[in-house]
Amino acid sequence: MNKVGEISFKEIKRISPSQFFSMKNCAYKSLLAEAFDKKPLLPLSPNAYFGTVLHKMLELIAKGIIKNETDLNIEFDKQVKILEDDLQDKGFSFFVPLKIKLKNFGLKKVQLKKYLRNNLEQPIKSGKTNLYSEKWFESQDKLIGGKIDLIIETDDDIEIIDFKTGTVTHNLLDDEGEVLSDVKNEYKEQLKLYAYLYFENTNKFPTSLSLVDLAKQKFTIDFSEEECKRVFDKAKTLLKTTNGSISTKSFLAHPKEENCKYCLYRPACSFFQQKLDEADISFNDVLGVIKNVRIFQNGNVSVFLQNGDKIMTVKNFSSEDFDELNKSISKQIRIYNVTKEATEYVYSVTDTTMIYE
């Protein structure tokens, strides 16, 4: 079984624009990530890993390295192979092959091909145009830094573009109850931080900020220089406050579903464990003392946990897990990444299920 061990907190040297929104929602998560050298305690979803391949492909298309579908097919297979080898090295061979494990694998490749065709059909801008892809910028005090996906500079315009391989917008209700679609706040703030980083390094503000998804949809973000400066200052203040909490032990954590559900450091979070202590069923994790372990004729193993007056059942462990679980009867354990069954307090294991003492 996995153990967390003693946590040695250390200061976060720099905050990135992509990290700001997450830190704002739960600064403690960022401190845990730093304490564990950004090595997750739980596996990501295969979609998250695959997203790195898609992002790399968009970068190579933007740089002009991928010029046609033949280039795309060769590079796509190469990047998938690199990722699959890395997953196996990390012990996540259950994600391989991605082509079978991901429902949208083929669809995403089709979207990349459409993106490439649309990119090739774009009219060439007149005048001098400079393209910068994956360019690093950091603030003068080095407290904020990150790579901008694409910068397009012409004689009259400077556009900063961030590629997104997932959903860019969310639905909101207006004052009259009508559903509106708007770009997620985290992406707006991320681009505003990039804009101010660009300004600090060039003494020029971009004229436009855009998000581009796999469907080649472009979402333009409204901004002002004052807004960008305000978000920039907030990010620095947040970094200072977060680092200051290490010495005072006054950690800022907000354990709720939207902050914790996909957090990869839940096993080390005492605030989250309190939620599990209360048998909070809003999460796909359970905590309890092992009361019994049963192996069935088909080889499947079920574990029965007691949490207060509740008995929780976690099904479908493999027969290889039986001995270790059976030896741990009367121990308190935490089981992460399970799925809820129709019956209350009954769960099933998944490919990403992990147990911590």
8 Å CB contact between 214 and 104: no
Predicted confidence at residue 12, as pLDDT, reads 97
Cα 329 to Cα 343: distance, rounded to the nearest angstrom: 24
In the chain, where the domains are located: 37-121, 130-245, 278-356
The answer regarding whether domain 278-356 maps to CATH 2.40.50.140 reads yes
Q: What pLDDT is attached to residue 103?
A: 86
Q: Give the model's pLDDT for residue 224.
A: 96
Asked if residue 119 lies in contact with residue 168, where contact means CB atoms within 8 angstroms, the answer is: no
- Give the model's pLDDT for residue 178: 64
Q: For 104, phi and psi rounded to 5 degrees?
A: -100, 20
CB of 29 within 8 A of CB of 23? yes
Distance (Å, rounded) from C-alpha 266 to C-alpha 288?
Answer: 16
Cα separation, 30 vs 251, whole angstroms: 11
Which residue carries 């209350």 as its tokens? Answer: 344
Question: CATH topology for 130-245?
Answer: Lambda Exonuclease; Chain A (3.90.320)
The span from the CA of 318 to the CA of 67, in Å, is 47
Question: What pLDDT is stored for residue 188 in this prediction?
Answer: 96
Predicted local confidence at residue 123, as pLDDT: 53
* Contact (Cβ atoms closer than 8 angstroms) between residue 31 and residue 23: no
Q: Residue 139 and residue 56: Cα distance in Å, rounded?
A: 25
> Which tokens hold the place of 321?
């897990």
- Amino acid in the structure at residue 90: K
> pLDDT value at position 177?
57
Spatial strand order of the sheet with 145-153 comes to 130-138, 145-153, 158-163, 208-212, 218-221
Q: How far apart are CA 111 and CA 258, in angstroms?
A: 29
Do the beta carbons of residue 297 and residue 319 sit within 8 Å? no
pTM, two decimal places: 0.87
CA distances 294 to 209, 285, 289, 304, 320, Å, are 57, 20, 15, 8, 13
Report whether the peptide linkage leading into residue 43 is cis, meaning its omega lies within 30 degrees of zero.
no
Q: Which two tokens stand for residue 113?
A: 């091909």
Q: What does the alpha-carbon distance between residue 114 and residue 61 come to, in Å, rounded to a whole number? A: 12
pLDDT tens-digit profile, the chain (357 residues): 899 989 999 999 999 999 999 999 999 999 999 999 999 999 888 888 999 999 999 989 988 899 999 999 999 999 999 999 999 998 889 899 999 989 889 999 999 999 898 876 665 555 688 889 899 999 999 999 999 999 999 988 999 999 998 888 876 655 555 657 789 999 999 999 999 999 999 999 999 999 998 888 889 999 999 999 999 999 999 999 999 999 998 887 888 888 888 899 999 999 999 888 887 777 899 999 999 999 999 999 999 999 999 999 999 999 999 999 999 999 999 999 999 999 999 999 998 999 999
Angle (CA) 217-222-227 rounded to 5° is 140
Can you read off the two tokens belonging to residue 269?
Answer: 């979070």
> What is the model's pLDDT at position 1?
85
